[in-house]
């Protein structure tokens, strides 16, 4: 069975190694990566290593970042999914779209789908997401999907705001 996550306007699937040149167009873009601790990938080889990590995490944990496709065009437009936080205890929800797809509510749509998938089939009890305080767009996405502010934390050398949501909140109707 192939894994696939669907939203009204998009679908997602786990990464394959030959996806590296596709995502290099956005993970190598300094503007898209400006708020991300890794900064832009400086070479295709760096992106290949990133995709290999995503594939290994998917095999090991059953989740990772996945490639996002626009349904209408079948074009790859970004990536989103779940990764382990540095402490290895919390699971982070992340999302990133190529610039032509910004400002259309797609990050919120994809993030909400990941929350449903994490709390449903994956049976994950809680998720966190983090952003630099200046990244208002990402913070709005977190709030729209029902996440609440938890703390400020030094992550990857930067002060980040950390938001979270628990499955129990969604089950009780106090989350999304």
Q: What is the DSSP letter of 18?
A: G
Closest CA to 68 of 88, 37, 93, 95: 95
- Domains along the sequence of the chain with CATH: 5-172 (3.40.630.30)
The predicted structure's pLDDT at residue 1: 47
Per the CB < 8 A criterion, the answer to whether 10 and 70 are in contact is yes
The predicted structure's pLDDT at residue 156: 83
Which residue is it, tokens 């609440």?
148
The predicted structure's pLDDT at residue 117: 95
Q: Give the SS3 label for residue 169.
A: helix
The number of CA neighbours under 13 Å toward the Cβ of 76 is 20
CA 80 to chain centre: 3
Cα separation of 137 and 107, whole Å? Answer: 9
Spans of the chain below 50 pLDDT: 1
Which residue is it, tokens 């919120």?
108
The C-alpha R_g of the chain, in whole angstroms, comes to: 15
How many residues make up the chain in this entry?
176
The predicted structure's pLDDT at residue 41: 76
Which residue is it, tokens 């295709």?
44
Per the CB < 8 A criterion, the answer to whether 27 and 50 are in contact is yes
pLDDT digits (tens, 9 = 90+) for 161-170: 999 999 987 7
pTM above 0.85, yes or no: yes
DSSP codes joined into one string, 57-121: HHHHHS--EEEEEETTT--EEEEEEEEE-TTSSSEEEEEEE-GGGTTSSHHHHHHHHHHHHHHTT
The alpha carbon dihedral of 87, 90, 91, 92 has a sign of negative
The predicted structure's pLDDT at residue 39: 75
């Amino acid at each position: 069975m192939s894994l696939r996550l669907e939203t009204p306007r998009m679908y997602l699937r786990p990464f394959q190694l030959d996806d590296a040149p596709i995502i290099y167009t956005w993970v190598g873009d300094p503007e898209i990566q400006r708020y991300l601790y890794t900064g832009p990938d400086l070479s295709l080889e760096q992106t290949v290593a990133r995709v290999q990590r995503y594939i290994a995490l998917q095999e090991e944990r059953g989740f990772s970042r996945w490639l996002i496709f626009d349904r209408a065009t079948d074009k790859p437009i970004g990536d989103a999914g779940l990764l382990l936080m540095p402490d290895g205890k919390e699971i982070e929800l992340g999302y990133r779209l190529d610039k032509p797809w910004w400002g259309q509510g797609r990050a919120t749509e994809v993030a909400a789908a990941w929350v449903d998938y994490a709390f449903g089939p994956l049976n994950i009890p809680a998720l966190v997401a983090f952003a630099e305080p200046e990244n208002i767009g990402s913070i709005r996405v977190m709030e729209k999907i029902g996440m609440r502010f938890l703390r400020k934390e030094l992550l990857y050398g930067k002060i980040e705001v950390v938001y979270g949501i628990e499955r129990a909140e969604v089950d009780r109707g106090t989350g999304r």
